[in-house]
């Protein structure tokens, strides 16, 4: 059955991106960040390809970890809660910890199940979101080392400003602070700092460390407000169809609130997509789509299930025609800029009611 709106995922482009990334990692381990359903791309369909290239999966929650059917280690990058301790240990997931209470709970459960639970310790060197504050990290890590049935597999920090053109000094300060902390540890661990933006811009964030956490680049999108600086390709195209065509006369209002009033006689096409599918409502009167290789501007409010565009100057438009929302000349970055957000949000907000179709193009 043909869907009213759908996403096409190019698996050959995904392989290309992973090859490009792996070649530039020069032997460093790769943690693929696949949280939020692989940044909206549909994780289940990507797992078989990703599995051939990566060393770790990176998710945000226990629920996401449980959806991955794979033997590679799965790291839960956000803090877990007490009720999640048992399933984390039972499934051999690797939690990220910054709470000694959670570590003790993990230890208790691991002892009960006769297991050793591996953990990642996050150190907060400037993000100020999660992680052990840097000034407390040595004491915390030393305490954890004395807790039974818990093993620190890795210590890492997260960069706060790597995507900003002016963010370099803060990034380098975070790296210096983290490096100084590592020198004071009594044991050595797998260490990582770089996310996609840091890896692309700052060799200091990965050259002397063991692993790189790559998310948005895997999907061919940019962590910056410009194109990626390596030759990755977007793997996603978002499409819909025309479900109505009509003429309106000069002075007629269009869509909710009549925020658009026709300045002349116009031919309008209604598309079967809206903010209920994750298409940004903020594109009202601002965005555009591609029809027959030409740009058609959005007129009026984006509705929950429908969006109206101007096709006055596009010949031979008919009901059922395919329309491109992202792809074929419209980048995710362009859509994000018009919607006053970032490409991460546009991608991850594509609703689960929009089917993902996996293709070899």
**Residue 318 among the catalytic residues:** no
- Per DSSP bridges, beta strands 29-33 and 211-214 are parallel
**Residue 256 among the catalytic residues:** yes
Annotated catalytic residue, options 28, 35, 39, 288: 35
Annotated catalytic residue, options 112, 250, 256, 361: 256
What is the pLDDT at residue 204?
97
Q: For residue 270, which of 312, 314, 308, 319 has the smallest C-alpha distance?
A: 308
Cα(360)–Cα(324) distance, integer angstroms: 19
**Fold observed for domain 236-359:** Lyase, Ornithine Decarboxylase; Chain A, domain 1 (2.40.37)
Q: Do domains 11-219 and 236-359 have the same CATH topology?
A: no
Non-local (6+) Cβ contacts of 278 within 8 A are 40, 346, 349, 350, 351, 354
Q: For residue 301, which of 325, 324, 279, 282 has the smallest C-alpha distance?
A: 282
pLDDT in tens, the chain (361 residues): 568 999 999 999 999 999 999 999 999 999 999 999 999 999 999 999 999 999 999 999 999 999 998 999 999 999 999 999 999 999 999 999 999 999 999 999 999 999 999 999 999 999 999 999 999 999 999 999 999 999 999 999 999 999 999 999 999 999 999 999 999 999 999 999 999 999 999 999 999 999 999 999 999 999 998 888 899 999 999 999 999 999 999 999 999 999 999 999 999 999 999 999 999 999 999 999 999 999 999 999 999 999 999 999 999 999 999 999 999 989 999 999 999 999 999 999 999 999 999 999 8
* Integer CA distances (angstroms), 76 to 50, 210, 340, in order: 17, 18, 30
What is the pLDDT at residue 314?
98
CATH 3.40.50.300 is right for the domain spanning 11-219 = no
Domain ranges of the chain: 11-219, 236-359
């Amino acid at each position: 059955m043909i869907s009213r709106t759908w996403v096409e995922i190019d698996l050959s482009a995904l392989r290309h991106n992973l090859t490009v990334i792996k070649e530039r990692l020069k032997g460093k381990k790769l943690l693929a960040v696949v949280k939020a359903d692989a940044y909206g791309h549909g994780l289940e369909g990507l797992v078989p390809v990703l599995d051939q290239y990566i060393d770790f999966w990176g998710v945000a929650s226990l629920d996401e970890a449980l959806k991955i059917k794979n033997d590679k280690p799965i790291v839960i990058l956000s803090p877990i809660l007490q009720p999640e301790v048992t399933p984390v240990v039972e499934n051999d997931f690797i939690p990220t910890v910054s709470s000694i209470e959670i570590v003790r709970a993990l230890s208790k459960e691991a002892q009960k199940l006769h297991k050793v639970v591996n953990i990642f310790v996050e150190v907060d060197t400037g993000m100020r979101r999660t992680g052990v504050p840097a000034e407390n990290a040595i004491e915390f890590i030393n305490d954890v080392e004395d807790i039974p049935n818990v093993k620190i597999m890795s210590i890492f920090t997260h960069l706060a400003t790597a995507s900003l053109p002016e963010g370099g000094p803060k990034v380098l300060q975070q790296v210096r602070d983290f490096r100084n902390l590592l020198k004071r540890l009594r044991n050595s661990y797998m260490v990582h700092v770089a996310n996609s933006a840091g890896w692309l811009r700052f060799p200091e964030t990965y050259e002397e460390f063991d692993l790189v956490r790559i998310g948005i680049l895997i999907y061919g999108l940019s962590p910056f407000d410009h194109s990626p600086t390596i030759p990755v390709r977007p793997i996603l195209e978002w499409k819909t169809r025309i479900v109505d065509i009509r003429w309106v006369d000069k002075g007629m209002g269009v869509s909710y609130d009549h925020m658009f009033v026709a300045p002349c006689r116009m031919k309008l096409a209604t598309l079967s997509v809206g903010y209920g599918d994750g298409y940004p409502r903020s594109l009202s009167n601002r965005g555009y789509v591609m029809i027959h290789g030409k740009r058609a501007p959005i007129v009026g409010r984006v509705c929950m299930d429908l969006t109206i565009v101007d096709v006055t100057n596009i010949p031979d438009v008919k009901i059922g025609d395919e329309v491109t929302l992202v792809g074929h000349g419209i980048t995710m970055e362009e859509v994000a800029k018009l919607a006053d957000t970032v490409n991460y949000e546009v991608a991850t907000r594509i609703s689960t009611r929009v089917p993902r179709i996996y293709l070899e193009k």
